[in-house]
Amino acid sequence: MITLYTASPLWGLPSFSPACMKLETWLRMAKLTYKTDTSLNLAIAPKGKIPFIDYQGKLIGDSTIIIEMFKSEAGIDLDAGLTTVERAISLAFRRMIKENIYWGEVYIRYQIPENWQVYREVLLNTLSAAAPAEECEPIVEEVYKIACNQLFNHGIGRHNDQEIYQITTADFQALSDFIADKPFFMGDQPTTLDATAYAYIGNLIKPPLGHPIVDYVLQLENLCQHYERMNNQFFSDLGK
């Protein structure tokens, strides 16, 4: 049995961490059985981040590395039906989502003061399930400092709000233009790109965190419909 170390379901999402939600979706798409651990114990995380898994007694970190591991060790490849060119397109979009859109989402959570007040409470509530309340405040302050440093070091944190809007909405617009009227990004069947897009679209449009980027994506109907389609297909049991 696989143990998936993840952030808990919240706001109607399987996880309030987009990377965790991507991996959990992929596990379901691959019909792999797993249980979850939502204690957020980063001390044992191989890469110091979630998600990670316990698989056959070994801890493995990073959603992409884990998916590649299942491909090479268990022959599970959700992208097997794609041509070489389609695989290249899928990889480019997945990298765009994980290495660029993700930071726009971190910016919205941490650097918009009213959003940070909401998200801070989420982190405090989550941590207080496993640690005494007085220990949680300093941990959350540390998480905040780390996130702000990451934003600056990635580069997006050096831009102003208008520039981050321009960068992030252009990425979502590209996703919208590419999926067009297809049910899934690469055609009729869901692939790894759908797991990735579902997680990062959901973690933008579902949390009660406001920003013009969220408003922009909410009016991209095909992306919102894709979110609902994936939700219905893979997480219809959520909240039941």
Quote the CA–CA distance of 236 and 178 in Å, as a whole number. Answer: 26
Of 3, 39, 64, 173, which one interacts with ligand GSH (CB under 6 A)?
64
Q: Is residue 176 within the footprint of ligand GSH (CB under 6 A)?
A: no
* Residue 47 and residue 23 in contact, taking contact as beta carbons nearer than 8 Å: no
User: Which residues, numbered 211-240, are part of the site for ligand GSH (CB under 6 A)?
Assistant: none
**To 10 degrees, what angle do helices 161-179 and 221-234 make?**
70
- Nearest distance, CB of residue 142 and ligand GSH, angstroms: 9
Q: Is residue 120 within the footprint of ligand GSH (CB under 6 A)?
A: no
Other beta carbons within 10 Å of 119:
22
Region from 17-25, 85-93, 134-142, 218-226 binding ligand GSH, contact rule CB under 6 A:
17-25
- Nearest distance, CB of residue 43 and ligand GSH, angstroms: 12
Q: Is residue 63 within the footprint of ligand GSH (CB under 6 A)?
A: yes
Which residue of this chain has its Cβ atom nearest to ligand GSH in the complex?
Answer: 49
| Per-residue CA distances from 199 to 44, 72, 78, 162, 187 (Å) | 24, 24, 16, 24, 18
Residue in this structure with the two tokens 């005494």, named with its chain if needed: 132
Residue in this structure with the two tokens 């898994």, named with its chain if needed: 53
Of 4, 5, 14, 17, which one interacts with ligand GSH (CB under 6 A)?
17
Other beta carbons within 10 Å of 176:
20
* Residue 196 and residue 105 in contact, taking contact as beta carbons nearer than 8 Å: no
Quote the CA–CA distance of 224 and 43 in Å, as a whole number. Answer: 36
Of 4, 13, 19, 213, which one interacts with ligand GSH (CB under 6 A)?
19
Q: Is residue 18 within the footprint of ligand GSH (CB under 6 A)?
A: yes
Q: Is residue 62 within the footprint of ligand GSH (CB under 6 A)?
A: yes
Please, how many CA atoms are within 13 Å of residue 73, restricted to the half-sphere of its CB? 8
Q: Is residue 194 within the footprint of ligand GSH (CB under 6 A)?
A: no
Please, how many CA atoms are within 13 Å of residue 66, restricted to the half-sphere of its CB? 30
Region from 42-50, 122-130, 170-178, 210-218 binding ligand GSH, contact rule CB under 6 A:
42-50
Of 4, 27, 29, 50, which one interacts with ligand GSH (CB under 6 A)?
50
- Nearest distance, CB of residue 62 and ligand GSH, angstroms: 4
- Nearest distance, CB of residue 105 and ligand GSH, angstroms: 9
Question: Measured from the CB atom, is 119 or 172 closer to ligand GSH?
Answer: 119
